[in-house]
Copies of this chain bind each other. A is one copy, B any other.
């Protein structure tokens, strides 16, 4: 048995982890509709003007603006309507002096015309259209390239795609976009007591929880989780599985909760890489390990479900988001008075779950081994290592799950 004799301050652990994360370089091409929330890998420039022609911005009549100058309801100008321009088709002819053309919003302007009078400002009898107000050149005209000029940057490398940015890419006619690949995260667990849901429990066994919480949180924060088959408790078996796992961008190991398992993983790290830290002054989650296995980083998470998941929020999420090139996670927060006094672990940064009830933050934490410590909570507060007691009524910032 190798007890943890010293721990790293949480802030130091977090800095060490973030410094170790390397933003992913791999990219992939995705159909636009699959790319929302992904990070653009290369600037995209417009291959042509958007729109590719001057177009009417209103329903009405395309005119030569100068011919409407001074028009008013009491002194209307009259022009002859010579054609109608439909959306999606070029006008059959241009416009000459004394002429106008009925035009729909979005339809190409006829040559010669330089403005549109909106239909509400006109009166029509047969081919004669009376204009009740004048327009200036370019009025009610959407200019060619007003949205995007050929060569303009549509989206830039590093931008996160949104509905409107996907729309802007569509506007230029592209169907795919090059984005950074999602970092792959190998999830690996040991523990003879762990059984997958869906199979019956033998005496002494419990169902796997960490695989489900970790896979879900990895997916939420830009990663692609790959659950590896569980592995027996021999060093050779574990080394073999780790050698597969470290083909991925990150390895997250959880459990085993037993002493033997924990010692084993330290031996595997010694064989295949380098321990960076073991033991963090957080609660829950103290026995967390961080290591390098060649090019791949390795998190050894506590086996206890609440510890495993809270440390995933605290350490794995910042690492993963940097690797995925996503901005730092900003949970929704709500400031509320604490419903009851909380006594925090001396010297450990505490991740303390709460429910939002009757406008107060009600402590929800039970024990590190209880997933309901988190599942029955709405979010968490953080209590710095130097703070031992938070009194009832203190306004705390709840970070919502």
Residues on A lying within 8 angstroms of B by beta carbon are 1, 3, 32-33, 36, 48, 50-53, 55, 57, 59, 86-90, 104-108, 119-120, 142, 146-148, 154-155, 162-175, 191-194, 197-198, 201-217, 219-220, 256-260, 303-305, 309, 312, 330, 332, 366-367, 369-372, 374-375, 377, 401
Judge whether A372 and B208 touch: CB under 8 Å.
Answer: no
Chain B residues with Cβ under 8 A from A86's Cβ? 192, 258
Judge whether B59 and A206 touch: CB under 8 Å.
Answer: no
Judge whether B367 and A167 touch: CB under 8 Å.
Answer: no
Chain B residues with Cβ under 8 A from A57's Cβ? 367, 369
Given A87-B258, A171-B207: A401 and B163 interface contact (C-beta under 8 Å): yes
Judge whether A375 and B165 touch: CB under 8 Å.
Answer: yes
Q: Which of A191, A219, A259, A371 is the most central at the interface, judged by chain B CB atoms within 10 Å of its CB? A: A371
Given A142-B367, A142-B369, A203-B53: A213 and B173 interface contact (C-beta under 8 Å): no
Judge whether A33 and B215 touch: CB under 8 Å.
Answer: yes
Q: How far is the CA of A368 from the CA of B48 in the complex (A)?
A: 20
Pick from B51, B164, B172, B193: contact of A213, CB under 8 Å: B164
* A210 CB to nearest chain B CB (Å): 7
Judge whether A204 and B107 touch: CB under 8 Å.
Answer: yes
Pick from B198, B202, B375: contact of A175, CB under 8 Å: B198
Q: How far is the CA of A108 from the CA of B192 in the complex (A)?
A: 12
Query: 8 other contacts beyond A88-B193, A163-B220, A167-B212, with CB at 8 A cut-off?
Result: A87-B192, A87-B204, A87-B256, A104-B259, A147-B371, A166-B216, A168-B209, A170-B211
Q: How far is the CA of A90 from the CA of B163 in the complex (A)?
A: 55
> What are 20 A-B residue pairs whose CB atoms fall within 8 Å in the complex?
A51-B206, A53-B204, A57-B369, A87-B204, A88-B202, A89-B192, A104-B260, A106-B206, A106-B257, A106-B369, A163-B213, A164-B309, A164-B375, A167-B309, A170-B209, A170-B212, A171-B207, A172-B207, A173-B197, A174-B198
Judge whether B369 and A89 touch: CB under 8 Å.
Answer: no
Judge whether A1 and B119 touch: CB under 8 Å.
Answer: yes
Judge whether A257 and B105 touch: CB under 8 Å.
Answer: yes
Chain B residues with Cβ under 8 A from A169's Cβ? 197, 212
Chain B residues with Cβ under 8 A from A88's Cβ? 191-194, 202, 204-205
Top 6 A-B pairs ranked by shortest CB distance?
A: A88-B192, A104-B258, A164-B374, A88-B193, A168-B375, A167-B213
